[in-house]
Structure 1
Amino acid sequence: MKALVIGGTSGLGRALAAEFIAAGWDTAVTGLRAETVMAFTAAFPAARAVQLDLAAPGAMPATASLLDFLGGADAVVVCAGLYAENSGADWAVEEKAIAVNATGCAAALNAAYSHFKKRGSGRLACITSIGGVRGNARCPAYNAAKAFLFNYLEGLRQNAAAAGLPITVTNLVPAYVGDGAGCGRQLLEAVLKGRRTVYLPGYWRLLAALYRNLPDLLHEKMFRWHYLLLKPFMRKAPRWQGKA
């Protein structure tokens, strides 16, 4: 069995890739930075690691070419992401967040989904974020991009179901999980079982539902205490998903 983990050289992507390798999968990963790619290769010499920038033009054909080069894959998980706090005043920051978290991830998902349609089956997944549940004044573009992925994944899942294709599409939704250590096994199980949406930790499914349905005025009023209210549920500041 073959797995491709895009953005698999650091954070949650690395934790998931390590679990694929431990389970005996022929695993390949991509990373943005040369140093993380080399570090991954040193730690997991049996795996293949290559550089790929999802924010660059041509991310979709690049992913498709990589899948062809690898001889296909049975599972593809898109873990790449860029977290950047910004009030919305700096468009360069917003544009980069959208390029990586929305356009780039969607391009990779599209390439993988097309690959699975041709082969007739597959497991597709993407690490999104609890930030996709609702807008946030600290990082409006990041949260909006993650919300886009929620809907994009659901659309791909419905396309597969309508076509009668055995392609599972899983939305992996981490909350405040620090560097992702200890989450790899949960992520792998969710992908292999073809779960639709998985929150990490699990109790965030309920919290997300409550948060999503807060009246707009209450949400705006309480935002200044946002992190104070959520602090009991955090492991670390939400920096786990860096440039991977």
Structure 2
Amino acid sequence: MRLFATRFSTILPGLLILLAASRGEGMNTLKTNQIKEKEENMPVARNEIPTQDRWNVEALYLNPDSWKEDLLKAKGNAEGPKWPNLSEFKGKLHDPKSVANLFESYLELQRTLEKLHVYAHLRLDEDLGNDVFKSDFGLISTLIHEFSLETSWIEPEFLSLDEDKFQKLIADSALTPYRFYLEKVGRMRPHTLSPEQEELMALSGKALDTSYRAFGSLNNADLTFKPAVDSKGQEHP
């Protein structure tokens, strides 16, 4: 027994070192795998994503400078009506030709604003913490709000016509491309306010949207959250 004890006492330190080393290697492997798993689950920067897997914002605008050029063109006047080519039709929406001209100008501007908005929105979604993207998105959002405000008179003016005149307007051949929209406006007659009240509603839009935008900025970019732990004790970013 003493011989066994002596031999065991001699080899024990070596066994302990070997066990410790193997355990340490196992722990290191486990930690490495956990780190790799976390890294795989973590969001990656846009420049790390293969080009073919990114959305092609260049299909909208080749670069930010071309976006800004379009934004400046769409901004309208600094004083007075921003878009006089729209406001000049106030009081004339009983005339089919005036309505057709209004729609042509309105839709052209609306398409430009939507294109500007989509581009800015996609760029912001690339990196919600990017101050330049935030600023650009804020600019186009403000412009769209102003567009909504300045055109808030259109539907109430249509509905200020009595039903017979409105139906006669819709039936005019010059307005065939816009008939579906006008019929939709007609169905909203019971739910449409006066021009002054509709303008007030449009004014409140930006203020009512502020809390949602603030939450989005905090939740998606500025706040960090601890990993969620499932029932097996595994962490998930």
Same fold, TM exceeding 0.5? Answer: no
Higher strand share: 1
- Greater helix fraction, Structure 1 or Structure 2: 2
Considering Cα pairs closer than 8 Å and 6+ residues apart, tell me whether 1 or 2 has the greater RCO. Answer: 1
Scaled to the shorter chain, the TM-score interval is under 0.3
- Normalised to the residue count of structure 2, the TM-score between the two structures is 0.28
Q: Which has the larger radius of gyration?
A: 2
What TM-score results when the alignment is normalised by the length of structure 1?
0.27
